[in-house]
Amino acid sequence: MDASNRNLMQKAHHEFKEGLRIALYLWVVFGLLVLHKSMILAEHNIDFAYHGLALINALALAKVMLVARHIPLGERLKNAPLIYPTVLKSALFTAVLACFKTAEDAVIGWYRHETFRQSITDLGGGTWRGVLSLAMLVFAMLVPFVGYGELGRVLGEGKLERIFFKPGTL
């Protein structure tokens, strides 16, 4: 295997690992949101069994985030205090995820011959206020994830993982 193929394989392996990391985090976040929704609905004796879709959504949206990561929006802020690129990238990812999820639900609704409003009822009840509130929740849950990535970028490749996951590396 020549150097260019080896380099391509290393890049693909890195992107795959990054995609799995993103999907795992999103799965936990979406799983918690679904669990919360099912608990609220159970208080009103409404059955809700949507838990499997949290994983499917996490995998689909992880691919979207992998692509969105390469948008050079925060490049001018790379030397700024970490809070700025963290908040900006969290907002970008929230907007991208919200748009993608809305578009996905709209396409599925269109296929089912539903109106746009009917197709997005699972997103915050289908109201703009509900969608905005859900987007703010996702934003708040993305801040630590993006902050972790930004801190890792500043510290250098693999340093943050060693600090977190290997004993005696401080």
Render pLDDT for 60-92 as a digit per residue (tens, 0 to 9).
Answer: 888 888 887 777 766 777 778 889 989 988 998
For the residues 132-142, what does the mean pLDDT come to?
88
Residues 84 and 168 in one domain: yes
Residues 138 and 77 in one domain: yes
Residues 157 and 79 in one domain: yes
**Half-sphere exposure at residue 9, Cβ-oriented, CA atoms within 13 angstroms:** 6
Note the pTM of the prediction, 2 decimals.
0.76
Last residue of a domain, one of 15, 39, 62: 62
Those residues with Cβ within 8 angstroms of residue 90's Cβ, 6 or more apart along the chain or in another chain: 139, 142, 143, 145, 146
Residues 76 and 140 in one domain: yes
| Selected residue with higher pLDDT from 131 and 50 | 131
pLDDT band with cut points at 50, 70 and 90 for residue 57 = confident
Q: Is the pLDDT of residue 1 over 80?
A: no
11: DSSP letter:
H
Q: What is the mean pLDDT of the chain?
A: 82
Q: Count of domains in the chain?
A: 2
pLDDT band with cut points at 50, 70 and 90 for residue 51 = low
Residues 56 and 96 in one domain: no
Domain residues for 161? 71-170
Percent of the chain that is helix, strand, coil (3-state, to 5): 80, 0, 20
